[in-house]
Structure 1
Amino acid sequence: MGRKRKKLIEKSTSIIFRIDNETLFKLCDILQIKYDENAEILDDSTKNALNVEIKKIVHEFVK
């Protein structure tokens, strides 16, 4: 038995890809997202802001 499963179109999928930091920093500059290029790692707030903006770009692209 169990519950009825959603159709795949109704779900979301995580996509992970690797990008070099030079390109990432250029994207941050274009999108006016603050970052510390001297830090050892990219902080979570910067990553979250990038995720939001990349989602917007993809949504606009497929319209």
Structure 2
Amino acid sequence: MRFIKGLTEDTIKMLERIYKQSKYHQVRQRAQCIKLSHEGYTINDLTGIFNVSRLTITGNRCL
């Protein structure tokens, strides 16, 4: 399993701010995806949450 590791508290806060304030849907989704991965959600979890293929998640669009 791949997870985003080593995010600082400042980075997490920035991702949360991007998720809440960005006017671009894809940017908000990517920020949320990175944060959820850091929290331990699996690739399979993320594909279900965002309704995308595994390739979308692992193809460096998110992770």
Q: Compute the TM-score of the two structures, normalised by the length of structure 2.
A: 0.32
Say which structure is richer in helix. 2
- Larger RCO, structures 1/2 (Cα 8 Å, 6+ apart): 2
Q: TM-score, normalised on structure 1? A: 0.32
